[in-house]
Amino acid sequence: MSTLHRGMSVEEFDNGYFYAADLKVFAREVGITVGNFRKIELEELIRQFLRTGKVPDRKPVMPRKAGEPRDRLEPDTVVANYVDDRQTKAFLLELVHAEAPGLGRKSGQWYWLNDWRRQKQAAQARFTYRDLAVRLRELMQTEGRFPQIPAARMNNFITDFRADPANAGISRKDALKAWNWLKAQPGPKTYAEYRRLTVTKAPDGSS
């Protein structure tokens, strides 16, 4: 597995696999502010550093102000000090179900809601918890699957692995074994790359 270092190329970085904890350590070493950046955001900041040799000046957008109490959970409360916990999620679902009783949950809804919220906060937009609930309802009513979550490469790999009819009946444990094998190989960490490699080479290293 590749090791993070200042002189690596962007291609080398993209062809490796690095845990969030390692990305944070490396980012701090080169002077990047880590804050609450998600893994995908840290990866992009590190790419920018490797590409230019300059430390990006982007700063994380915090969901709340330090030392401030959480927002009062009311529909018309303007989002200022957001807490992403069960209490907030239950409140938002209550607002959703008041408008769309019985609407079922959808995989990925919270990730994409938070992505929307973070973009709004980064733009310093004014929005309320009612607006969040409206966006959540839209997500829950979306037809088909959401786009794969960026940077969640293991989950995306396993989803694609198990969706392939060629792997029918193969356990999640075996899918994880295939992922761990791919993770150690140079190149993209995708199921398509796994299929390309395993045309001639099996995950156990045999031909």
Number of domains in the chain: 3
Task: Identify the pLDDT of residue 207.
Answer: 41
User: Can you list the alpha helix ranges (DSSP code H) found in 59-149?
Assistant: 86-99, 109-122, 129-140
* Structure-token match 């396993």, residue found: 158
Phi/psi for 183 (5° steps) reads -60, -30
Q: Is the pLDDT of residue 154 over 80?
A: no
Q: What pTM was estimated for this model as a whole? A: 0.59
Candidate from 105-114, 117-126, 146-155 with smallest mean pLDDT: 146-155
User: Predicted confidence band at 206 (pLDDT cuts at 50, 70, 90)?
Assistant: very low
Structural domain boundaries, residue 193:
153-197
Question: Which of 148, 166, 182 is a domain's end point?
Answer: 148
Task: Encode pLDDT of 63-93 as tens digits.
Answer: 778 788 999 999 999 999 999 999 999 999 9
Report which of residues 93 and 180 the model is more confident about: 93
Q: Which residues contact 144 (CB under 8 A, 6 or more apart)?
A: none
Q: Looking at the structure, do residues 166 and 188 belong to the same domain, yes or no?
A: yes
Q: Is residue 38 part of a domain?
A: yes
Q: Are residues 119 and 75 in the same domain?
A: yes
**Does a structural domain hold residue 59?**
no
pLDDT digits (tens, 9 = 90+) for 194-203: 888 887 554 5
Residue 206 lies in a domain: no
Asked, for residue 99, whether it belongs to a domain, the answer is yes
70 and 97 inside one domain? yes
Structure tokens at 23: 């990305």
Euclidean distance between CA atoms 131 and 79, whole angstroms = 9
- The two three-digit tokens of residue 73, written as one number: 């959970």
Same domain, 68 and 144: yes
- Is 202 inside any structural domain? no
Report CA-CA distances (Å) from 76 to 50, 64, 83, 121, 139.
44, 17, 16, 16, 20
> Does residue 22 belong to any structural domain of this protein?
yes
What band does 131 get if pLDDT is binned at 50, 70 and 90? very high
Confidence of residue 152 (pLDDT cuts 50, 70, 90): low
- 38/72 same-domain check: no
Co-location of 171 and 136 in the same domain: no
% of the chain exceeding 70 in pLDDT: 93
Question: Which among 148, 165, 187 is the end of a domain?
Answer: 148
48 and 68 share a domain?
Answer: no
